[in-house]
Structure 1
Amino acid sequence: MPSLPVRPLEKPLKLSFISRLLALPALLLTLTTQGAPVYVQAGPGSFNHAALDLLAARNHMDYQRFYSGTPAHTYTSAAQAQTWAFSALANSTIEGQLVPAIVDAMRSYQVTELSAAVHMPIEMCVFGLNKTGKITHAASHPAALKQIARWLSAHQLQAKPVPKGTNEAARLLAADQFDQNTVAVGSCALKAVYPELTLRETGIQDNADNHTLFGLMKMEKRPQPISEDEARSALAHVVDQANVLINTRTDSAKALFSHINQRLAQMQPVALFKAQKHRPIEDLSREAVVLSKALEQAQQQCLDTGSVKAFFQAQMDAAKAIQYRYRAQWLSEGVPNQEADLTQLRNTLNQLGAAILQTLTTHLAQHGNLTTELKPVFLAALNTDNLTVQDKQRLYQALQSVRRVENCQATD
């Protein structure tokens, strides 16, 4: 089966996440008045909503969104309008991973173009009309209910499938269409859409490593419906293509993260040299030189200098923290009797700093902004000793804020 074509979308209007959420009281709504139209499976506050937000953040764009309920209705609407559809494709905890409702919709519709894919961790949250009342039923999308089987069993609850989606389950609960003993299960973002509901519990999914794969696609109605097995095969092919996009982006990010980790790993010999020469850890004049070089290169490569400055400052702060921890460690253990060449170290640090900016530039150009999707990869990639989780969190927060400058011509 041939690969699906991939092409970028035009850049539309950008709106804030919360303002979009609060402006969406109905199931079928437009989030923006400009930009690329996208028919989105389910409704506002759903996992599809959150996944498309990740894609919007990645590309620094937003889409004119039409929330369309079921996959079948989403694909029908997108095909008729000759525009984009955004839906779930597969989930890591569903048997066979393929979403049954998507398989069913694929019997009548085929993907003609795959523009982007999002691989998003799923956290299931429980909403009720009160905080502590007895519950007997849990309402959600059938695929979501399959991901909380153990929780349902442990609480001896009856599942109440809502094919239109997790958002619809929350909407019905908020509209008093369910009794007081029913809860809705879905994305935690539903709280912003239905503030009258009470968040009772979070993280109830059976598998802590629960991920869903989403795709942004062009759809076309098939001349004749195909069998379920054929639809399953067609969807599996789309999933394979989506995973290629995900893996390519992840590999690009890993190369960047590796350079960052290598630079931080040089802090042990830097701390050793300073300890042996009785020099202070903090060297503000040297930091100024590093920042100046980084900003010069950033400007040449069309990176926003303000965001690059914040990231390099976070790197230097983490580097100093590592050095201080080594110095504290050596107070009791003694300073290692090893040679450290500061000139060579600085050459290595300069090379790694340049490599970080180059790989960052390439990643942003080819794969868009760094988003929360890649944060677990970043945290795992940084394994330098004496680097804390808090250090990593701050580093990634600064890193994912780095942006390219639009309408800029890079120079050598």
Structure 2
Amino acid sequence: MVRMLLLICLWMHIVPLAVADNTSEKDQLFALIEKRLSLMPAVGLYKARHHKAIEDIPQETRVLTLTVSKAVAAGLDPALVREFFVAQITIAKVIQYRYRAILLLNPLPDQHADLSLIRQQLTQLSDAIVDQMAVVLKKGAITDSDWATFNQSVQVPYLEEPGKRQLFKSLKKVRLKKISNHQLSRTGVYVSPRMAYLLTDSTQLSYAFVKHLQSS
């Protein structure tokens, strides 16, 4: 009975929650994305000073592996989060290449950044981005209507609009991980096909709620 009441409550709140205002949460997400990309010129400068290649496949693999693990823990679809970070890494390299081209024609700035410290910051920002994605998506998806705010928020040197549009396109795809029919069946509650569709596709249903159903 308790399980059925919980499902009824969820059914009644799917639509109201979907239209909840999450503007400030999106602003925070966009700011984190900007902050991470804004570190790329410093990364590019370090690589130029130490004659290192911009593309670092082992490091990219490490970043993506950690990001996927973080996405799973946050209840996000790991494949879609990975797709976003692949796009972000691509944009990050574009920024570095453009900055490096400028450095070829000018003396290197008198700045000596520590790449290991920068990478620590990047890891922290990646984790924060994933966490904030989950916060945003529990209130509603990122849509085309958010492009203007994203475009205005993400202002990074050497990042042009086509790159931003590519990044935004991958960001829109990110979703909370779907709940499988098997997980729903473990609650012991009959779920009609339409109800199952709404539950598994709704970005409002969190794993915490499913676990609560399973333990009740």
TM-score, normalised relative to structure 2: 0.75
Instruction: Give the direction of change, closer, same or farther, for the CA distance of 1:324–1:115 in structure 2 (3 Å limit).
Output: closer
1:405 aligns with 2:203: no
Asked whether the equivalents of residues 311 and 395 of structure 1 are also in contact (C-alpha less than 8 Å), the reply is: yes
1:186-205 paired onto structure 2 within 5 Å: none
The correspondence for 1:323, drawn from 79, 96, 106, is: 96
| Cα distance between partner residues in 1 of 2:17 and 2:124 | 35
1:170 aligns to what? none
CA deviations 1:181-230 (Å, max 9, x no partner) are xxxxxxxxxxxxxxxxxxxxxxxxxxxxxxxxxxxxxxxxxxxxxxxxxx
The correspondence for 1:277, drawn from 10, 31, 50, is: 50
Q: CA deviation at 1:268?
A: 1.0
The correspondence for 2:71, drawn from 286, 298, 303, is: 298
| Cα distance between partner residues in 2 of 1:297 and 1:325 | 30
Q: CA deviation at 1:409?
A: 2.8
1:387 aligns to what? 159
CA deviations 1:23-65 (Å, max 9, x no partner) are xxxxxxxxxxxxxxxxxxxxxxxxxxxxxxxxxxxx8x9xxxx
2:80 aligns to what? 307
| Cα distance between partner residues in 1 of 2:116 and 2:168 | 29
CA deviations 1:213-255 (Å, max 9, x no partner) are xxxxxxxxxxxxxxxxxxxxxxxxxxxxxxxx5xx42211000
Q: What SS does the corresponding residue of 1:335 show, helix, strand or coil? A: coil
1:15 aligns to what? none
Q: CA deviation at 1:334?
A: 2.2
1:336 aligns with 2:109: yes
1:10-409 paired onto structure 2 within 5 Å: 10=11, 248-365=21-138, 367-407=139-179, 409=207
Alignment RMSD = 2.4
What stretches of structure 1 of length at least 5 have no aligned partner?
1-7, 12-58, 62-113, 118-244
* Identity level (%): 34
Give the aligned length: 175
Q: CA deviation at 1:305?
A: 1.1
Q: CA deviation at 1:116?
A: 6.5
Amino acid at match of 1:317: T
| Cα distance between partner residues in 2 of 1:269 and 1:352 | 15
Q: What SS does the corresponding residue of 1:333 show, helix, strand or coil? A: coil
Asked whether the equivalents of residues 77 and 178 of structure 2 are also in contact (C-alpha less than 8 Å), the reply is: no
Q: What SS does the corresponding residue of 2:52 show, helix, strand or coil? A: coil
| Cα distance between partner residues in 1 of 2:18 and 2:55 | 44
| Cα distance between partner residues in 2 of 1:9 and 1:394 | 35
CA deviations 1:315-344 (Å, max 9, x no partner) are 000000000000001111222121110111
| Cα distance between partner residues in 1 of 2:11 and 2:92 | 40
What stretches of structure 2 of length at least 5 have no aligned partner?
1-8, 180-205, 212-216
Q: CA deviation at 1:115?
A: 6.9
Amino acid at match of 2:160: T
Q: What SS does the corresponding residue of 1:337 show, helix, strand or coil? A: coil
Runs of 4+ in 1 over 2 A off after TM superposition: 8-11, 114-117, 406-411
Instruction: Give the direction of change, closer, same or farther, for the CA distance of 1:400–1:350 in structure 2 (3 Å limit).
Output: same
Q: What SS does the corresponding residue of 1:272 show, helix, strand or coil? A: helix
Instruction: Give the direction of change, closer, same or farther, for the CA distance of 1:275–1:249 in structure 2 (3 Å limit).
Output: same
Structure of higher RCO (CA pairs closer than 8 Å, 6+ residues apart): 2
TM-score, normalised relative to structure 1: 0.40
Which structure is higher in helix share?
A: 2
CA deviations 1:151-210 (Å, max 9, x no partner) are xxxxxxxxxxxxxxxxxxxxxxxxxxxxxxxxxxxxxxxxxxxxxxxxxxxxxxxxxxxx
